[in-house]
Amino acid sequence: MARCDHCGNEYDKTFQLIREGRTWTFDSFECAIQAAAPVCPTCGVRIAGHGVEEGGQIYCCAHCARQKGAQAVRDRA
């Protein structure tokens, strides 16, 4: 059995996430999000969806991006 890189749980149905040459092993999507998802610099939430990006920075939403001075971002509502 493999061990989750985030929580340490040994599990027979783990999966791997590969990003930018780094490989992680996880036992759940929750652990993968906590370990690998970007964090909004405004509110601190983990960004599990698309988010919005301006100037190379990713935010959870346009509201948070505007709080940091982004001008061109818009939520898709």
Q: Are residues 56 and 27 in the same domain?
A: no
Q: Are residues 64 and 46 in the same domain?
A: yes
Range of the domain at 2: 1-36
Q: Are residues 29 and 2 in the same domain?
A: yes
77: confidence class by pLDDT, cuts 50, 70, 90? low
Unique residue bearing structure tokens 């690998």: 36
- pTM for the structure as a whole: 0.80
Q: Are residues 30 and 53 in the same domain?
A: no
Q: Are residues 42 and 21 in the same domain?
A: no
Question: How far apart (Å, rounded) are the C-alpha atoms in residues 62 and 22?
Answer: 29
Q: Are residues 17 and 1 in the same domain?
A: yes
pLDDT digits (tens, 9 = 90+) for 14-68: 999 999 999 999 999 999 999 999 999 999 999 999 899 998 899 999 999 999 9
Does residue 75 register a pLDDT over 80?
no
Q: Are strands 2-3 and 52-54 parallel, antiparallel or unpaired?
A: unpaired
Tell me how many domains the chain contains. Answer: 2
Q: Are residues 29 and 45 in the same domain?
A: no
